[in-house]
Amino acid sequence: EQGSVPISATKSVGNLGLEEWMEPFNTSHSNSTQSLIPASWRAAFLIGTVGIGLPANAFIIWLTGWRLKRRGLSIFILSLATSDFLFLSMTVIQIIETLLNDNWVLGAPMCRLHRFLFDLSYHCSLFLLAALSVDRCLLVLLPLWYRCHRPLRLSSYICLGAWLVAALLSIKGFIFVDLIPLQDGVLACSNERGEYEWPLRLLEVLLEGFFPFIVMVTTHAATLARTLRRHTRPPSQFYRIVAATLSAYVLLNLPFQIIQLLFLASLDYEFIHRIFPFMVYFGYLINLSSSINPLIYIFFGSNICTGCGPHTTSSLARALTEEQGKSPGDTPSTSFSA
């Protein structure tokens, strides 16, 4: 997180330490960020995303976790909604910090736990989106295997693996995060990575930004090519859900990673100073993406125009299960009844 004074001077650009510039999106203690986005605006934006995203994700968790058979696409959506719900829950603490003039008052243990859960939910969302792309690609490229021979619990194992890998990558929140005293008695919950800052940040950019993006582009290109070659049309509703979710990732998550990569590749102070505002703006889009995902499931799954209520819920249920077909040992694709 940003500080009004340099936190780490292990690698400097001009007179500024690397750490001072490397945490723009979480909460900003720097005078630069406060001048870019007033605290009241930041708090209002975060409150809006949480107010919309938390209940929407809770609804998706209820639907996919308790009202549908947990398999296939519904398992991925359940895991993704859970990670988004956790991310927005951590944003509530960020709102409190913003309203307290960016002063952390919850103590060092809560600071480390907050950063761990924040990173865990964010990393997991990205890995689940990549896994979802691979799953949809297998459905098109290997339809017979997918419907008849795919292990029934494969989706569950993939989601569990995504959570475990995300947890391993988030352990650094316990190791490098601590309370940093700033001016005027303000305490910042911030990274103090020292000499490990640059390689860790590069690893995060590659794994958070470009690995999911490459997987999504590759699998969707293969899916589209196979669909066009066979002159077949995939089930429309769940493909709209998947396409919209992945498009939201590209629009709301990838720009921040690109800006971070430009920062890492540049040693020019003036260039870094110019791109810093974009790091701040694009960083807040990450919060927005966790609120948009459940709205995509609801609106695209219910065809938007069908209205609200039981019919909307049952339409979404069908959209999340229509690709399954009949596999050995399967029961009907949904247990939901409006």
Q: Where do the structural domains in the chain lie, given as residue ranges?
A: 12-319
Record the tokens describing residue 325, joined without a space. 């077909």
User: What is the gyration radius of the CA atoms in the chain, in angstroms?
Assistant: 21
Amino acid letter for position 129:
L
pLDDT (tens digit per residue) in 114-144: 999 999 999 999 899 889 888 888 888 888 8
| Per-residue model confidence (pLDDT) at position 199 | 83
The rounded distance, in Å, linking the Cα atoms of 114 and 118 is: 6
**Tokens 């590659």 appear where?**
206
Mean per-residue pLDDT, 302-318: 49
The rounded distance, in Å, linking the Cα atoms of 75 and 163 is: 13
Mean per-residue pLDDT, 223-239: 70
Q: Distance from first CA to last CA of the chain, Å, rounded?
A: 47
Band the pLDDT of 268: cuts 50, 70, 90.
low
pLDDT higher at 265 or 49: 49
In three state form, how does the secondary structure of the chain look? CCCCCCCCCCCEECCEEHHHHCCCCCCCCCHHHHHHCCHHHHHHHHHHHHHHHHHHHHHHHHHHHHHCCCCCHHHHHHHHHHHHHHHHHHHHHHHHHHHCCCCCCCCHHHHHHHHHHHHHHHHHHHHHHHHHHHHHHHHHHCHHHHHHHCCCCHHHHHHHHHHHHHHHHHCHHHHHEEEEECHHHCEEEEECCHHHHHHHHHHHHHHHHHHHHHHHHHHHHHHHHHHHHHCCCCCHHHHHHHHHHHHHHHHHCHHHHHHHHHHHHCCCHHHHHHHHHHHHHHHHHHHHHHHHHHHHHHHHHCCCCCCCCHHHHHHHHHHCCCCCCCCCCCCCCCCCCC
> Residues 154, 156, 161, CA angle at the centre, nearest 5°?
95
Q: What is the mean pLDDT of the chain?
A: 75
Task: Check pLDDT > 90 for residue 91.
Answer: yes
Superfamily of the domain at 12-319: Rhodopsin 7-helix transmembrane proteins (1.20.1070.10)
The answer to which of 159-163, 231-235, 301-305, 319-323 has the lowest mean pLDDT is: 301-305
Band the pLDDT of 314: cuts 50, 70, 90.
low
| Per-residue model confidence (pLDDT) at position 254 | 83
pLDDT (tens digit per residue) in 22-73: 444 333 444 445 556 777 888 899 999 999 999 999 999 998 888 776 667 7
| Per-residue model confidence (pLDDT) at position 313 | 54
